[in-house]
Amino acid sequence: MFRPADIQPPEPALPAELWLSSVDITVTGATSWEAFADSTGEFLAAAYNASVFFETQGNTGFWIDGPQAFVVRLDPATRAGEARKYLLSRWIETASRSGGWGRAKALYRPPVPTPEFDAAIAAQRYAGEMGKR
């Protein structure tokens, strides 16, 4: 999504109209940062209200608006204040007023040819159609 020219085979190439041209993000704090650790490292997590607009090179833009949870990994090899000390590990949509981050991400994910995947897509389409009624 953020570096479409770097996609390596066997992943399919991303259509040029889905390449990002800009990202506009506004976040306001909803909770304070909480530290935790697991076997893979140290992390910080917090909830924010986020409004994000992804503008593509095509005629499609994606807007996300609502509560989001961010998990940041601390790089132990980097000192505080240096670039890349804090790396975004997870961006979790907790609710949305705009149609969903998951829908936007799905456009950038290669298809998985399994019956479960097909059933999940069918369920999403059905839910979307029901929501329009």
Tens digits of residue pLDDT in 81-103: 899 888 888 888 776 565 555 66
* For the chain, percent of residues with pLDDT exceeding 90: 3
The token pair at 113 is 């040819």
Would you call 5 helix, strand, or coil by DSSP?
helix
Q: What's the mean pLDDT in 2-8? A: 75
Q: What is the mean pLDDT of the chain?
A: 76
Segments of the chain assigned E as strands? 20-29, 34-38, 41-56, 61-74, 86-93
- Please state, as a whole number, how many other Cβ atoms lie within 10 Å of the Cβ of residue 86: 15
Is pLDDT larger for residue 2 or for residue 19?
A: 19
Nearest-Å Rg of the Cα atoms of the chain is 17
Res 30 pLDDT > 70: yes
Buried b (16+ CB within 10 A) or exposed e, 87-113: eeeeeebeebebebbeebeeeeeeeee
